[in-house]
Amino acid sequence: MKAARIREYNKPLVLEDVPAPDFQPDEVLVRVQACGMCRSDVQLVDGYFRRYNDIPTPIIPGHEITGLVDKLGGLVPKASGLAEGDHVVVAPGWGDGTCRHCLVGNTHICPNVRWPGFGPAGGFAEYIAVPARYLIKVERRLKFEELAPLTDAGVTPYRGIKKLRDGGALAPGRVLGVFGIGGLGGYAVQYAKLLGGGITVVAFARNAEKLRIAQEYGADHTISVKDKSAAEVGKELRNLTGQSDLDAVIDCAGAPEMMQLAFSLLSISGHYVDVGLVGDRIEIPLFPRVSREQTFQGSFWGNNSDLSEVMALAAQGKIRHIVTTITFDQINEYLELLRSGEVIGRAVVKF
């Protein structure tokens, strides 16, 4: 099969022919039809994750995976409902099945988790072997190139918005800030309108085109933060919404300067959920976090239930996309474009 592999960190991927994977009796061989490209693919190549998990090379990146069931292992139960030719998406976070997180369905935060695209198996290849329980069957009428980004860019902000909702942060008369309108932020705006109970949604970004897209996706207001102080942004927020602070924040960037701005705007008892990983360290004053009784949560990817819910919304036509389809041979070119922040929406490798 064709595969794009990291042979050395900080070097372009090597596009080569490698043996198709063997698969275990409880696994399914999936013929990849499309795989989304993510900023974390760039971070993987650039060594961002090595301080946390130094993954040995060669690595096949690509974790936003959708395709066709090619072959079923002999122990895949009929109750799975899977058959050869089915259209499927690959759920992230393959847990050990025994830890307390797996037992409540949060396999993606299992301490012994395996991640497609962060090891020898990934979606920048024509085939991948997947444990049957991590495949979700999808309707045939849905386009592979639109399904692929939903398995990360689409599900990650969905789980974050659910955390804000379940924490009581979303309600009529309140204001939610979506920071970073990239691959994740566009989805976050849509989910905020779907799940937010009438909350006012304000999109914050530097790029005028991305803010225009956020407005198309339902943002009530947009604010450019380029070359503006926190005081200037707060004043603009007051002019638009009647208040200069935010009751809730979902941060889809995770960039240090953006996080400092967002925290400076967070209200008393405000809720902040971060799903972005552009930076690696933040410096923020502690006293306001304590004295204003604010809540900060990380939210990482999503579990099978989250992804199933996103797939249901997609089947109902409630999720909009901007997708650029590319070929296998363009992978390195688009990794460079992702690195420089020049991709609007999502780039998807189509096999």
Is the pLDDT confidence value at 344 over 90? Answer: no
Is the pLDDT confidence value at 345 over 90? Answer: no
Mean pLDDT of 137-150: 97
What domains appear along the chain, each with residue ranges and CATH number? 2-152+302-350 (3.90.180.10), 155-298 (3.40.50.720)
Is the pLDDT confidence value at 63 over 90? Answer: yes
Q: What is the pLDDT, as a whole number, of residue 278? A: 86
- Over the chain, what is the mean pLDDT? 96
Is the pLDDT confidence value at 61 over 90? Answer: yes
What is the C-alpha separation between 303 and 323, in angstroms, rounded? 23
Q: What is the pLDDT, as a whole number, of residue 183? A: 85
What is the C-alpha separation between 308 and 151, in angstroms, rounded? 10
pLDDT by residue (tens digit) across 150-167? Answer: 999 999 999 999 999 999
Q: What is the pLDDT, as a whole number, of residue 105? A: 95
pLDDT by residue (tens digit) across 200-250? Answer: 999 999 999 999 999 999 999 999 999 999 999 999 999 999 999 999 999
Angle of helix 185-195 relative to helix 208-216, nearest 10 degrees, comes to: 30
Nearest Cα to Cα of residue 146 among 324, 309, 334: 324
Percentage of residues in the chain having pLDDT higher than 90: 94
What is the C-alpha separation between 51 and 43, in angstroms, rounded? 12
Q: What is the pLDDT, as a whole number, of residue 182? A: 85
Q: What is the pLDDT, as a whole number, of residue 280? A: 86
Is the pLDDT confidence value at 343 over 90? Answer: no
CA 243 to chain centre: 30
The structure's pTM equals: 0.95
Q: 29 burial class (0-12, 13-18, 19+ CB within 10 angstroms)?
A: buried
CA 134 to chain centre: 17
Q: What is the pLDDT, as a whole number, of residue 342? A: 83
Query: Which H or E element spans position 129?
Result: strand 127-131
Percentage of residues in the chain having pLDDT higher than 70: 100
